[in-house]
A and B are shown apart, each in its own frame.
Chain A
C-alpha cells in the first residue's frame, strides 16, 4: 500500500464501506450502538466530525428483534402530531406490529449526535425487516459484523441424545405432576 500514489492512498483511506448486521434475536439497543458508532465514523482512527467519514450500515431481520425483560409491553414510544389532542403513545409491541423497522430506526436516531449531520447519517442506514436485500445493496456489502448477543439454544434445537446425556439433577417423587 505504500506504493500507491498520494491521491490513490487518500481515496482508499476515506472510502465508505458497507456493513451488514443481522438483527435476529438481538436487543435493538445493542444493534443501535454498533450502527451509531459506524455511521459517525468513530470506529476509524482518522475520525473527525467534519470529515464525513461515516460508513453505510444495512440491518436485516429487524422483524425478529428481541427486547429483554418486559419491554415489549412496558416501553412506550410517544409522538405528537402537532394538532391539539394529537398525543399518541404506543407500546413497543404495537409499534413493531405497525412498522417492524421503526424500533431500530428510532433507537439509532436517538444515539446519533444532535446536529445537522444526523439526517445524512440516517440516510446511510438501510433497514430491512426480512433477509431479502435488493441486488444493488447486496453488491455493495463489504463486511458482516458479529452479533452482539449470543443466541441461546432453544430446547427444540437439542437432539434427543444431548437431552439424555444431560445429568439428572433430581428425581421427582411419584405424586409430583410435571407441567
Chain B
C-alpha cells in the first residue's frame, strides 16, 4: 500500500551532513577556542589557514634557499673563502651542484666540501693569472670547460 500523507512528510535532507562538516572541522582540530569545534567559525578559520598555506609554499622555497646560502657561507669561511667567490668559481668550473646539495655536503661530507673549495680556489687563481698575466701562459686546467656531447 502507498503511504500518501505521513511518510511523504519525512524526507532525508542530505544524509551526509556529518561527513561534510567533519571534512572541514578536521582541518581545524589544532586551533584555539571554539573555531576547532563549531562549523561556522571553523569554516572561516580553515579558509584563512589554507590561504596562508598556499602563500607559505612559495615563501618556503625562498627561506630554504637563504638558509642553504648562509650555511654554505659559514662552511666556506671555515676554509678561508667567501660565499660569492666560491659559487662564482664553481659555476665557472662548470660544477652544476645546487645550493641544496652543497649545503648538505658542507654538513655531512666535510672533506668533499673542502675539495670543492679547493677547486674554486684553483679556478680563482687561474682567473687572476689570465687577467694579470700576458697571455703567453696557457690557461689552467679548470678554465678549459669540457663540453659534453
Contact = CB atoms under 8 A, between A and B. Distances in A.
Contacts of B78: 43, 45
B77 A47 contact: no
A45 B67 contact: no
Nearest to B71: A45
22 contacts: A42-B70, A42-B73, A42-B74, A43-B74, A43-B77, A43-B78, A44-B74, A45-B71, A45-B72, A45-B74, A45-B75, A45-B78, A45-B103, A45-B106, A45-B107, A46-B71, A46-B107, A47-B67, A47-B70, A47-B71, A47-B74, A48-B67
Contacts of B71: 45-47
A47 B67 CA distance: 8
Contacts of B74: 42-45, 47
A46 B107 CA distance: 6
Nearest to B72: A45
Contacts of A43: 74, 77-78
Q: Contact size class for B?
A: 10 to 19
A47 B72 CA distance: 10
Interface string B54-75: 0000000000000100111111
Nearest to A13: B107
Contacts of A46: 71, 107
Interface in A28-52: 42-48
Name the residue among A44, A45, A47 with the largest chain B CB count within 10 angstroms.
A45
Contacts of A45: 71-72, 74-75, 78, 103, 106-107
A166 B67 CA distance: 53
